[in-house]
Amino acid sequence: MIIDKTKKDIDMNAIQANINRAIEEAQTIHDELALKANLGAANARDELSKLNDRYELFKAQSKKIFDVADDSADELKIAAEMGIHAKSKEDVLTALELAAEEIKYSYQKIQNFIY
């Protein structure tokens, strides 16, 4: 049995070339993803920092509103300090609920971005 060594060498060279090309392409994709992940992580950290500030302020201000729950005038005053323009206690509570949901949603967006 005579083996065509040239054909075998060509097939091996072609296979090796395909493997090398796949490795190079994988490396390029890897490098791009690593860069985007690092930039994304930095953006996520920045967004999280801003959101944490909003969250802490919201928590403190909403606590104040609930501490004066029976005094509508004080509730409306604190709400106004938070940027909530309300005419009634119900308006204040609705605005607080929406703000709480918005903060939660913002945290979820960052969470989804990271994972």
Average pLDDT estimate for 81-103: 85
Grouping H, G, I as helix, E, B as strand and the rest as coil, residue 76 is: helix
Q: How far is it, in rounded angstroms, from Cα 5 to Cα 58? A: 76
Banded model confidence at residue 104, pLDDT cuts 50, 70, 90: very high
Find the distance separating the first CA and the last CA of the chain, reported in whole Å. 58
75: pLDDT strictly greater than 90: no
Determine the pLDDT at residue 18. 83
For 34, the token pair is 């690593």
**Model-level pTM greater than 0.75?**
no
Residue 46 corresponds to which amino acid? D
